[in-house]
Amino acid sequence: MADDMSEPENRIVVGVEGSGGARAALRWAIKEARHRNAFVDVVTAYSTTYVPASPDFNYVPLDPIDLEAEVKRMQDSIIDEVLAEVDVEGVEIRRRMVRGRAADTLIAESDNAAMLVVGSRGRGGFRGLLLGSVSQQIAQHGSCPVVIVRPDLAT
């Protein structure tokens, strides 16, 4: 019987959204990519932000060009900071921004990936929780092995 499932790509997808957990996840993913001879696919999900315009117009979307530029600046800053700390020799780093909800985007990105890596806690939510909502969702629904990295552990 033929297997119609394709082999996973030799890529490690890492979700980056600006938190300390994302930095730790990226450091971990780069080190793992060196061992696996894989490339790191840094993915930042973003969605349109709505801001109050006036009492008559309710909320309007923030200028998408400004939003994309800010997301790109944040992603570049995190990647550059981690690259200054970690030996990346022989590891290809790809950068992508994808419009959509973080959990949905990363779950979709897990298709055909060797591994999906995220921080345990993102920027939102309740600080006392051990696991954020995005990391919990991808752990349950990702289609490849998922690694959740705590920012307080040495990576």
Tens-place pLDDT, residues 75-87: 999 999 999 999 8
pLDDT of amino acid 64: 63
For 22, 94, 109, 132, the CA distances from 9, given in Å and listed in that order, are 22, 14, 11, 27
Residue that the structure tokens 């600046």 belong to: 73
CA 109/CA 104 separation, integer angstroms: 9
Residue 126's pLDDT band (cuts 50, 70, 90): very low
Q: What is the pLDDT confidence band of residue 2, given thresholds at 50, 70 and 90?
A: very low
Measured CA to CA, the distance from residue 79 to residue 77 in angstroms comes to: 6
Residues pairing with 50 in the sheet: 61
Q: Distance (Å, rounded) from C-alpha 126 to C-alpha 27? A: 24
